[in-house]
Amino acid sequence: MFGFGKKKPETLLDKFIFAVYGNPPPPKRANVGEAISLAANELLAGTVDEESVREQALALSSGPIPYSTQDLALATALHFFKQPQLVPHLGEAQLMARMNAMQWLQQGLAVPVLVKSFEDTLYTMYKPG
């Protein structure tokens, strides 16, 4: 009568989270400070100012996705790699970033779907010619 005990309908985001992280998904576990450092230094090679990286990482970590530290670093860096005005400045950084992403995938530190999206996006935006 009052809707007690009724399950809220799953959203597309819920379905995505369940598909990527499992149902139920793990609790949020990203070390945001470490993710900021990884994104700024390891993935973006110091090309983007750390305050901008911090703002993006904090915005992403406040959402519902239960990122690992490396997932959050990848999602944060991807935001900057996708900005057309930064492409000329991130050409060299993207090579190391892609290698880091693959290494994190092999170590089980990042989810395959995010690494694939990262790789596909960088391949498309930074391919020669």
Give me the torsion for CA of 74, 77, 82, 88, rounded to 10°.
Answer: -130
Whether the pLDDT of residue 123 is over 60: the answer is: yes
- pLDDT tens column, 80-115: 999 999 999 999 999 999 999 999 999 999 999 999
For the chain, which residues make up each domain, given as ranges?
A: 23-126
Which residue stretches of 4-68 are H helix? 12-21, 32-37, 50-61
Supply 83's token pair.
């900005």
